[in-house]
Structure 1
Amino acid sequence: MSTHGSAVPKIYIDKQTPEVFQAMRETSRAARKAASEAGLDRILVELVELRISQVNRCAYCLDRHTKAALKAGESAQRLAVLAAWRGTEVFSPAERAALALAEATTDLADAKARDDAYEAARGALTEHQISAVIWLAIAINALNRVSVMSEHPVRSD
Structure 2
Amino acid sequence: MYEKEPGAYKAMMALENYTKETTIDPLLKELIKTRASQLNGCAYCVDMHTEDAIKLGESERRLFALAVWKESHLFSEAERAALQLTEEVTLLSKEGVTDETYDHVVAIFGEQQTAKLIMQIVVINAWNRIAVTTKAIYKK
TM-score (norm 1): 0.83
Write out aligned runs for 1:25-104 (5 A): 25-34=13-22, 36=23, 40-104=24-88
Q: Retained in 1: the 8 A contact 2:44–2:137? A: yes
Task: Note if 1:145 corresponds to 2:129.
Answer: yes
Distance (Å, rounded) in 1 between the aligned partners of 2:96 and 2:2: 35
Quick one: percent identity of the two aligned structures?
36
Query: 1:102-146 deviations in whole A, cap 9, x for unaligned?
Result: 111112124465323213212321111111110001000001111
Q: Identify unmatched segments of 5+ residues in structure 2.
A: none
Higher helix share: 2
- Matched letter for residue 17 of structure 2: R
Q: How many residues in Structure 1 have an aligned counterpart in Structure 2?
A: 140
Q: Which has the larger radius of gyration?
A: 1
TM-score (norm 2): 0.92
Q: Which has the higher contact order (CA 8 A, sep 6+)?
A: 1
Q: Identify unmatched segments of 5+ residues in structure 1.
A: 1-12
Please report how far the alpha carbon of residue 28 of structure 1 lies from its aligned counterpart in structure 2 after TM superposition: 1.6
- Matched letter for residue 101 of structure 1: L
